[in-house]
Structure 1
Amino acid sequence: MHNVVIIGGGPGGYEAAMVGRQLGRNVTLIEPGEIGGAAVLTDVVPSKSLIATAEVMIRLRHSKELGIVPVDPALNHAQEAIRVDLGAINQRLLRLAREQSADISTRLSSEGVQLVRGRGRLLNNRVVLADTDDGILRFPADVILIATGTRPRELPDARPDGERILNWKQLYSLTELPDRLIVVGSGVTGAEFASAYRQLGVDVVLVSSRDMVLPGEDPDAAKVIQAVFESSGMTIMSRSRAKSARRIPDGVELTLADGRTIAGSHLLMAVGSLPNTEDLGLAENGVTLTSSGHIEVDRMSRTSARGVYAAGDVTGVFPLASVAAMQGRIAMWHSLGDAVRPLDLRGIASNVFTAPEIATVGVTQKQVDAGEFAVRSVMVPLKGNARAKMQAHYDGFIKLFCLPQTGIIVGGVVVAPGASELIYAVSLCVSARLTVDQASLAFTIYPSLSGSISEAGRRLHNVADMLQH
């Protein structure tokens, strides 16, 4: 098996390409745009760069409490001394995305990966066709990987126009802050952008079809974020479903299913995504699709067609760049005969980049409430943490789940600034099957936010002792 052909240049595709070359195979990667896919170019890298800028505004919001005040006595708060240049922000984050894409392309080329600009599709499970500027090219393949990602879902009566009605890929074209931004969808994407733009000073209306924002996240975490959103001045319209949107002079009007209307300067549609599985020759070559149009794969990234694998959001397994990358690596390790373990979703850590962030790993509260796991749990509020007080962070908590008899940590939730970094300690505990005693005996820095993880372990030890006696 010498030839590997990959369709799609996102994390699933480019990570697989590097593994394929590492194992000595000829690797061709076919991508119609720039390398990096949506994760690098329009989704993860630019959106998190925007959020990083918004975090500066969060620190300024607490500046007076920390003793930092404007030099000009006419100003009441440090925020009044600055303005947000959205055009400059968007130029920077798009530049960062392009630079990251270029770095990945350079790395792939230096590793010997053949990069082809074009649209790939299956002729059969041994040949891939690429529609390029030079015509249709044929690439023989012993192994094929599909990693074509997803695109924003659209409502028939609220189609983005790129000016006032936008999807999340189009937000970066704005040069001035919206006067009033309506965000439809309170999942991860909607909540992250609503949080960032509110911190930048925009009047934000978040339209949610559910009772609580972030319905797919830990319910205790969602309550914290909802409270933070509301206290920041964000308007949340719960149990409201968008029906249609239309342009009005200097803005847009959203109509809800119950007939109510909301006017704003701009509208962001964040109502999910659709897999890019059309015109790839999948069904014709025996690749099974799910009812949602995603490619059905097993834990080795195999599709139903021999020699054809799939990775990333197009599989619908878990819409995370880290999962896409791991699926791509697993596909190569398995297909090329290297040592490999199946994808284990129980150890996946995920993060929501709101303010504060939400990070989770392992067993979830939803699974516990459904009776799927018998666990003991504890929740340590952040407001009691000394470091959090010093930094004026009061919203959030650390939650751990452990098995009742052994004390093995099987899951956790962190709601805090920098939760995406703190969750690594919990993730190590889950993957290594450490007990709450082992976690609490490891030294932490005082003062530190991570100290609350150790404290959670100590509290669970006490619970176990009480149960035994």
Structure 2
Amino acid sequence: MAEHDVDFFVIGGGSGGVRAARIAANHGARVALAESYRLGGTCVIRGCVPKKLYVYASRFADDFADAAGFGWEVGAARFSWPKLVAGKEAEVSRLSDIYRANLVKAGVTIHANRATVLGPNRIGLDTGAEVSARHILVATGSHPVFHPDIPGIDLAISSNEIFDLPAFPKRLLAIGSGYIALEFASAFVRLGSAVTVVYRGDAVLRGFDHDMQAGLSEALGHAGIDLRPRTSPTRIERVDGGLRVHLDDGTTVEVDQVLAATGRVPLTAGLGLEAAGVQLDASGAIRVDRFSTTSVPSIHAVGDVTDRINLTPVAIREGHLLADTLFGGRDRATDHANVASAVFTTPEVGTVGLTEADARERFDVVDVYKAAFRPMKATLSGRAEKTVMKILVDGITDRVLGVHILGHEAGEVIQAVAIAVHMGATKAQFDATMAVHPTAAEELVTMRTRTARHTRGVAEAA
């Protein structure tokens, strides 16, 4: 008889957990997965997929306005929030069903239950049943948190609820300046909402390159978003017709909805991890080694629950390589260096590698190449739009350290650029690559003028 009921028990049906379960099953392991909600996790159900659909919807507003400059006469446009929500829901359901079908096809047993860890090799289901497993994977993701803790904060909504509001908010206030707050602000202002964004810092997108921060702030302002830096809410109250938000500068803003987009924390509470001996950090994230194994050798964790790099493709890669390591006979650790990412505002931000500030801290000599220009489409549309591209180079070895793009389809462009950066390409190799003309991306291989050189924190003229 088998020592355990299954070889691999996965807690969480998001992208990382589903990929790990499917790959493990393909390696011949007996696999079970528990998910108390729909399969697909944050990305498919209430994150990147529905958000990108709403971003697409919002950009038609710009397209309709720009068409006149190209000779088109477009009549009055009308937007239907219920139709967008219904279309989103249909696509989310389709994807969730695909996740389920792929698991079933691979032979994974699915438990539509909440699961907790009872010990190094034991899982409890909320039905009262228990399952023993040779290995356990925790892939429960993260959830939104509301900051600051002020009177009336319970009247705010998170990114979980904003997709399915019964009525479109004509006035929206977003708290926070990270990618979640700004993506929704950028989308909703184009869908017809009057949007205000309040944030404690001086710049949006904390941790991003300063030229991307400045360029995006300017673009959001052109879109009609009321950006209020160095400002925090002190109280939210319900009033006739909506909500009144009191700010620490003495002003108030009346809106229909308040979106609190001030961060996410790992979803580990109540899972029984600490009692099982699994070490957590101060935020509740599970501590793992480079192979995604916790302090308990039979318990593993991938994705946002580890708070390493909280991106869906990272969770998928971590889950895949963990399954290969445990059941495929190959020790495979995830490489978290030079992971590209995108912010799906309008315009988009695409980034890979080091920011200028980080590069200057880590390297003796940093060469900066930067271009800012009006994209070709804007010449006829008349839109106040600017594309910014930046390449950071090790001034000694010529290796490209980081690439940052603000502009149309920056997410698509940065995916291709990330391959070169990950391979250790040099600026000379970028320069030797033939341009595709006319494109905005050709600027990445035609930038020849160094705009700055930094030698251990001292800026020199180019």
**Counterpart amino acid of residue 63 in structure 1:** A
Q: Which residue does the alignment assign to 2:457?
A: none
* Distance in structure 2 (CA, Å) of the matches to 1:239 and 1:386: 35
Q: TM-score, normalised by structure 1?
A: 0.90
Give the alignment of 1:194-343 within 5 angstroms.
194-336=185-327, 338-343=329-334
Q: Which residue does the alignment assign to 1:69?
A: 73
Could you tell me which of 85, 90, 94 is aligned with 1:90? 85
* Distance in structure 1 (CA, Å) of the matches to 2:263 and 2:69: 39
* Distance in structure 1 (CA, Å) of the matches to 2:235 and 2:168: 23
What CA deviation, in whole Å up to 9, does each residue of 1:331-388 have, x standing for no partner? 22223353344322222011100011111111222302434564322112242x5577
**Counterpart amino acid of residue 138 in structure 2:** I
Report deviation, 1:258. 4.6
* Distance in structure 1 (CA, Å) of the matches to 2:160 and 2:29: 35
**Counterpart amino acid of residue 84 in structure 2:** I
* Distance in structure 1 (CA, Å) of the matches to 2:274 and 2:239: 43
Corresponding position: 1:448 with 2:439: yes
Could you tell me which of 358, 365, 380 is aligned with 2:356? 365
Could you tell me which of 18, 21, 27 is aligned with 1:17? 21
* Distance in structure 1 (CA, Å) of the matches to 2:182 and 2:204: 7
* Distance in structure 2 (CA, Å) of the matches to 1:373 and 1:282: 43
Q: TM-score, normalised by structure 2?
A: 0.91
In structure 2, the gaps of 5 or more residues are 454-459
Q: For 2:318, what is the secondary structure of its paired residue?
A: helix
Q: Which residue does the alignment assign to 2:175?
A: 184
Q: Which residue does the alignment assign to 1:54?
A: 58
What CA deviation, in whole Å up to 9, does each residue of 1:280-329 have, x standing for no partner? 11001111111111111222111111111111111111121111111212
In structure 1, the gaps of 5 or more residues are 71-77
* Alpha-carbon spacing, 1:91–1:336, altered in 2? closer, same or farther (3 Å): same
Report deviation, 1:436. 2.1
The answer to whether the 8 A contact 1:11-1:324 is kept is yes
**Counterpart amino acid of residue 283 in structure 2:** S
What CA deviation, in whole Å up to 9, does each residue of 1:154-174 have, x standing for no partner? 24434445xxx3211111222
Report deviation, 1:257. 3.5
The answer to whether the 8 A contact 1:400-1:412 is kept is yes
The answer to whether the 8 A contact 2:183-2:345 is kept is yes
* Distance in structure 2 (CA, Å) of the matches to 1:169 and 1:229: 23
* Alpha-carbon spacing, 1:144–1:388, altered in 2? closer, same or farther (3 Å): farther
The answer to whether the 8 A contact 1:242-1:255 is kept is yes
* Alpha-carbon spacing, 1:392–1:447, altered in 2? closer, same or farther (3 Å): farther
- Overall identity of the aligned pairs, in %: 28
The answer to whether the 8 A contact 1:310-1:331 is kept is no
What CA deviation, in whole Å up to 9, does each residue of 1:203-239 have, x standing for no partner? 1111111112222222111111111111222111110
The answer to whether the 8 A contact 2:158-2:260 is kept is yes
Q: Which residue does the alignment assign to 1:121?
A: 116
Corresponding position: 1:146 with 2:138: yes
* Distance in structure 1 (CA, Å) of the matches to 2:165 and 2:88: 12
Corresponding position: 1:99 with 2:90: no
Report deviation, 1:451. 1.0
Query: Number of paired residues?
Result: 447
Which stretch of the first structure deviates more once superposed, 253-262 or 191-200? 253-262
Q: For 2:275, what is the secondary structure of its paired residue?
A: helix
Q: Which residue does the alignment assign to 2:128?
A: 136
